[in-house]
Amino acid sequence: MDWLDIPTLAFVAQFASIVSLAVFVYLWRNNPQVRAFAWLAACSLSMCLGIFLILGLRFLPVTFCILSGNICLMYGGVMLAHGTRLLYLRPVNLLYWLTPLPMLCFTGYFTLITPDVSARVVIYSATAVLLTGYFAYELRRPLHPAGSNARIVLLTVASIDIAINLLRVWLTLVHPQHQGLLTSVGSNATALAFLNALLYLSLLPLGFMMLNDERLQLHLQHQADHDDLTQLLSRRAFMEQAEQTISHALQRKHSATLAIIDLDWFKQINDGYGHLAGDYVLALFARTLLRETRGSPVLLGRIGGEEFAVLWPGLTAKEASIHLYRLQNSLKSSPMEWDGIPISLTFSSGLAELNDNQQKFDTLYRHADAQLYLAKENGRDCLSGV
């Protein structure tokens, strides 16, 4: 790569980092609730400063530029992994923030005590491989269930970055570097570094813009499929997904149980305490239902005003009833309150189990609905069809 002018490559990479920063700031300003974009903007800013400090080797104290430049570049990689992690709604991983510390210690040693450009290049590249590996690991699952083109772009960028940094390590070990980083020609490892930065900082914003588009599509799909008040599946979405679940259960010859739940005397709550109290009770009941059915594969939906549906694939009616009895006990042991006034809430439920006589979801639903009416006729606050 002797024909490459390294300072020119460095300036082009610096321009790419500024463009990357502008894109992430734009995404952050348009999605202020998504903290991930703030971290990605900080990542681009950190990398921009890192490249600027490397370019400043000719004009600023060398030791200052090397140490502070490496800090900015390494923690830019950490912020990238952290921002990606937040975009997938995962908690902070402290290991990511500690990873650059050994590199910085060795960089200080090979800068202040035993100056060695090759050693610094090898240490930097090895750490960069590790940090990019963290970034790739955070992309292990697609954000959108239907797949993700953005994930392919970002994983491609990560793979190229890892490959180039490993190549830099090999080149440096085979041909140790004795000149400064910004010699105009003659350093394949340094030229690779700035070419990699140019590619990395150009494609990274594109990948995240695509990922943001997928995130928005997922959000809109969630709003269309879920009830605003309870955040359970809407009637239409529940019916569609339940029909697919029953079809899969029949193909695999698995059991499945449908329960339809109706809150007892709910009209009295609306009339006695107001519709805000009714909404509060519905939302709190939905949260309780979610908690008490956790741990089993289940579909939950609000299919009417105070009517809910639960489908347990793989469970018999007797096994599913355990969850409903637990729900009953939870409501009785922790009564709801509205403006300091306790509200006693019970429910009636009808269950129907998939069997040879009920080979379709519609049949299963009609049977569960009939069992619900039997539960109401039996005095409410009970289950029928177990």
Displacement of CA 147 from its chain's centroid (Å): 14
Most confident of 2-11, 27-36, 244-253: 27-36
- Measure the CA–CA gap between 332 and 346, rounded to whole angstroms: 8
Is the pLDDT at 201 greater than 90? The verdict is no
pLDDT category, 147, cuts 50, 70, 90? low
Active site residue 306: yes
6-224 and 235-384: identical CATH topology: no
What is the mean predicted confidence (pLDDT) over 212-233? 87
**130 or 8: whose pLDDT is higher?**
130
Most confident of 189-198, 281-290, 352-361: 281-290
Nearest to 249 by CA among 214, 198, 308, 299: 299
Where are the domains positioned within the chain? 6-224, 235-384
What is the mean predicted confidence (pLDDT) over 215-242? 89
Q: Which of 138, 292, 306, 353 is catalytic?
A: 306
Pick the CATH number of 6-224 from 1.20.1070.10, 3.40.50.300, 3.40.50.2030, 2.30.110.10: 1.20.1070.10
Looking at residue 185, what is its pLDDT?
Answer: 38
Rounded to two decimals, the pTM is 0.70
Give rounded-to-5 percent helix, strand, coil for the chain: 65, 10, 25
Q: What is the mean pLDDT of the chain?
A: 86
Query: What is the CATH number assigned to the segment(s) 235-384?
Result: 3.30.70.270
pLDDT category, 183, cuts 50, 70, 90? very low
Asked if residues 34 and 211 have their Cβ atoms less than 8 Å apart, the reply is: no
